[in-house]
Amino acid sequence: MGFQKFNFKEEIMNEIKKVGYTIPTPIQENAIPHIMEGKDVLGLAKTGTGKTATFVLPLLEKLKRGDKNVKALIIAPTRELAEQINSTITQLGNGTSLKNCVIYGGVSSKIQIDNLKKGMDIVVGCPGRLLDLLNQGFLKLNKLEVLVLDEADHMFDMGFLNDIRKIIKQTPVKKQNLLFSATMPVEIKKLVSEILKEPVIIEVEHNEAIKKIEQFLIKVENISKKSQLLDTLEKLSFDSLIIFTKNKHKAKNLSRILESKNYNSVSFQGDLPQSRREKALDGFRKGEYKVLVATDIAARGLDIPQVTHIINYDMPDTVAAFTHRSGRTGRAGKSGVVISFATKEESKIIQEIEKLNKTVFTKTTSRYRLEEKEGYQAVKTIEKKENNFKNKEGNRERNKEGNKEGNKNSQKKYKK
Q: For Mg ion, give the closer residue by CB, 51 or 328.
A: 51
Q: For ligand ATP, give the closer residue by CB, 49 or 265.
A: 49
Q: For Mg ion, give the closer residue by CB, 127 or 301.
A: 301
Q: For Mg ion, give the closer residue by CB, 177 or 388.
A: 177
Q: What is the DSSP string of 257-286?
A: HHHHTT--EEEE-TTS-HHHHHHHHHHHHH
Segment interacting with ligand ATP (CB under 6 A) among 44-52, 185-193, 216-224, 335-343: 44-52
Segment interacting with Mg ion (CB under 5 A) among 127-135, 213-221, 294-302, 315-323: 294-302
As measured in angstroms, the least distance from the Cβ of 324 to ligand ATP is 7
**Residues 65, 121 contacting (CB under 8 angstroms):** yes
Q: For ligand ATP, give the closer residue by CB, 47 or 86.
A: 47
Binding residue (CB under 6 A) for ligand ATP from 331, 354, 357, 359: 331
Task: Say if strands 309-312 and 336-342 run parallel, antiparallel, or are unpaired.
Answer: parallel
Segment interacting with ligand ATP (CB under 6 A) among 23-31, 207-215, 368-376, 391-399: 23-31
Q: Is 51 in the site for Mg ion (CB under 5 A)?
A: yes
Distance CA 331, CA 406 (A): 29
Closest-approach residue to Mg ion (CB): 301
Q: Which of 81, 60, 74 is nearest to 15 (CA)?
A: 60
Segment interacting with ligand ATP (CB under 6 A) among 43-51, 103-111, 154-162, 334-342: 43-51
Segment interacting with ligand ATP (CB under 6 A) among 4-12, 51-59, 234-242, 266-274: 51-59
Q: Which of residues 271-330 bind ligand ATP (CB under 6 A)?
A: 301, 303, 305, 327
Q: Is 301 in the site for Mg ion (CB under 5 A)?
A: yes
Q: For ligand ATP, give the closer residue by CB, 32 or 130.
A: 32
* Residues contacting ligand ATP: total by CB under 6 A: 20
Distance CA 40, CA 38 (A): 7
AA letter at 176 = Q
Distance CA 22, CA 87 (A): 20
Binding residue (CB under 6 A) for ligand ATP from 34, 44, 49, 176: 49
Q: Which of 123, 128, 59 is nearest to 274 (CA)?
A: 128
- Our CA angle for 45, 49, 50, nearest 5°, is 105
Q: What is the DSSP letter of 172?
A: -
Which residue spans within 88-185 are E strands per DSSP?
Answer: 100-103, 122-125, 146-150, 176-181
Q: Is 59 in the site for ligand ATP (CB under 6 A)?
A: no
Q: Is 39 in the site for Mg ion (CB under 5 A)?
A: no
Q: Which of residues 127-166 bind ligand ATP (CB under 6 A)?
A: none
Q: For ligand ATP, give the closer residue by CB, 139 or 242.
A: 242
Which residue spans within 49-143 are E strands per DSSP?
Answer: 72-75, 100-103, 122-125
Binding residue (CB under 6 A) for ligand ATP from 332, 355, 380, 396: 332
As measured in angstroms, the least distance from the Cβ of 348 to ligand ATP is 25
- Kindly give, in sequence order, each residue whose CB lies less than 8 Å from that of residue 83, ignoring residues fewer than 6 positions away: 102
Q: Computed from CA positions of residues 17, 18, 22, 23, in that sequence, does the dihedral angle turn out positive or negative?
A: negative
Helix axes 319-326, 347-357, angle to 10 degrees: 70
Q: What is the DSSP letter of 288?
A: S
Residues contributing to the site for Mg ion (CB under 5 A) = 51, 301
Residue numbers of the site for ligand ATP (CB under 6 A)? Answer: 21, 23-25, 28, 45, 47-53, 182, 301, 303, 305, 327, 331-332
